[in-house]
């Protein structure tokens, strides 16, 4: 083998590794305290997989939505960040709170700091008209829509027997209708671009029964059905539709008193011990939001252009217990 050919092969191998892992600059190799708390990753040098793209992300103020918005920006996308930015959203939320406006502004600033455009939109995904207007404004201000992530969701912990109608309706309205509204709002803009990527966020709770949180589990099953149906309908327009089903993730929802009560434990240490026993991968007791963002960026990129109607479990191997 010639020296020239060896160099080509070596370069290809390094490039492939960089796409998957990124190349972390030594200057940014240590996380700050704030990054540890939010699950942010130190800023890596990437191949900017989404350069020139426009993304719309719901529930973008914190948690998984924040991580996805920032990772999209890091990879070159301009981002519209949508969030209700209201601690209760007018719903019977208890055991945790929804994001506030300061958190949304902080995420918008983090996206802009990466040298791309960011559009802040306070929007309730339950409002069909508002979502249509938000998509139109995104297309107008940022030049179109190539990627949409339907991430916004809530949990209201209660048994099926003990649930009231309002709790049931609110969970369905955000977690199912909100996803539907997001998908429908972006379709015409993606068709105008002759293609696009839609990503929904389900859960391992959408792949099995859920005790003490039946409404949430029901909605996450529905998200998968909606994802697959949309993938079939939108495929001829070169629009892919896929879902991510996270396992335990260090978010305000998972690390909440409501979640502890629903599983019958009293501390996050007990939570880690209980859940960790069911996880084949023992590298950590729960994922960080960035671990979900990695998969979202892959699905949004051309590397996944032939993947549609798929549900990807990012769950530390928890999905091995499924029967199919």
Each residue of 104-122: pLDDT tens digit? 999 999 999 999 999 999 9
Question: What are φ and ψ of residue 195, in 5° steps?
Answer: 150, 165
- How far apart are alpha carbons 286 and 313 in whole angstroms? 14
Instruction: Report the pLDDT averaged over residues 7-16.
Output: 33
Q: Is 319 a residue whose pLDDT tops 80? A: yes
Helix (H, G, I), strand (E, B) or coil at 24: strand
Instruction: Report the pLDDT averaged over residues 139-166.
Output: 96
Res. 4 pLDDT band, cuts 50 70 90: very low
Q: Which residues are catalytic?
A: 216
**What pLDDT, on the 0 to 100 scale, is given for residue 33?**
37
**What pLDDT, on the 0 to 100 scale, is given for residue 250?**
96
Instruction: Report the pLDDT averaged over residues 152-166.
Output: 94
Kindly state the tokens that stand for 181.
């509204």
Instruction: Report the pLDDT averaged over residues 58-76.
Output: 98
- How far apart are alpha carbons 190 and 177 in whole angstroms? 20
Residue 258, CA distances (Å) to 90, 156, 212, 268 in order: 18, 8, 10, 12
Q: Which fold has domain 52-319?
A: Rossmann fold (3.40.50)
Q: Residue 234: enclosing H or E segment and its boundaries?
A: helix 214-234
Each residue of 253-289: pLDDT tens digit? 999 999 999 889 999 999 999 999 999 999 999 999 9
Q: Is 3 a residue whose pLDDT tops 60? A: no
Residue 199, CA distances (Å) to 205, 221, 275 in order: 17, 15, 26
Mean pLDDT of the chain: 88
Domain ranges of the chain: 52-319
Q: Which residue has the higher pLDDT, 9 or 281?
A: 281
Kindly state the tokens that stand for 219.
């909605």
289, exposed or middle or buried, with CB in 10 Å at 0-12, 13-18, 19+?
buried
Q: Dihedral of the CA atoms 261, 254, 220, 205 (nearest 10)?
A: -70
- How far apart are alpha carbons 185 and 128 in whole angstroms? 8
Residue 28, CA distances (Å) to 20, 22, 41, 62, 284 in order: 18, 13, 9, 21, 22
Cα end-to-end span (Å), the chain: 46
Instruction: Report the pLDDT averaged over residues 203-212.
Output: 92
Counting other chains too, the contacts that 261-267 makes at CB distance below 8 Å and 24 or more residues apart are 261/95, 261/157, 261/212, 262/157, 262/211, 262/212, 262/213, 263/212
Each residue of 45-62: pLDDT tens digit? 446 999 999 999 999 999
């Amino acid at each position: 083998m010639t020296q020239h050919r060896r160099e080509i092969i070596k370069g290809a191998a390094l490039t492939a590794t960089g796409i998957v892992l990124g190349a972390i600059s030594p200057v940014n190799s240590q996380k700050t305290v704030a990054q540890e708390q939010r699950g942010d990753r130190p800023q890596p040098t990437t191949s900017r997989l989404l350069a020139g793209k426009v993304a719309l992300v719901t529930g973008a103020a914190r948690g998984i939505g924040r991580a996805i918005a920032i990772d999209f920006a890091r990879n070159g996308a301009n981002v519209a960040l949508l969030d209700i930015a209201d601690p209760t959203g007018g719903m019977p939320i208890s055991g945790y709170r929804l994001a506030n406006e300061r958190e949304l502004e902080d995420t918008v600033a983090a996206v802009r700091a990466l040298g791309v455009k960011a559009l802040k939109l306070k929007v309730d995904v339950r409002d069909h008209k508002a979502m249509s207007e938000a998509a139109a404004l995104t297309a107008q201000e940022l030049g179109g829509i190539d990627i949409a992530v339907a991430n916004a969701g809530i949990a209201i912990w209660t048994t099926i027997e003990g649930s009231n109608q309002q709790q049931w309706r609110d969970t369905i309205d955000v977690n199912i209708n909100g996803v539907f509204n997001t998908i429908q709002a972006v379709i015409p803009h993606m068709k105008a671009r002759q293609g696009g990527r839609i990503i929904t966020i389900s859960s391992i709770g959408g792949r099995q029964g859920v005790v003490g949180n039946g409404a949430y589990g029901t909605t996450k099953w529905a998200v998968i059905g909606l994802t697959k149906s949309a993938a079939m309908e939108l495929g001829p327009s070169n629009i892919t539709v896929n879902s991510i089903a996270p396992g335990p993730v260090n978010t305000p929802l998972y690390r909440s008193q409501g979640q502890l009560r629903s599983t019958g434990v009293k501390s996050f240490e007990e939570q880690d011990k209980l859940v960790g026993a069911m996880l084949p991968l023992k590298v950590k007791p729960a994922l960080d939001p960035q671990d979900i963002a990695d998969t979202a960026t892959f699905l949004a990129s051309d590397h996944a252009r032939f993947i549609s109607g798929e549900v990807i479990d990012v769950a530390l191997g928890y999905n091995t217990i499924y029967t199919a």
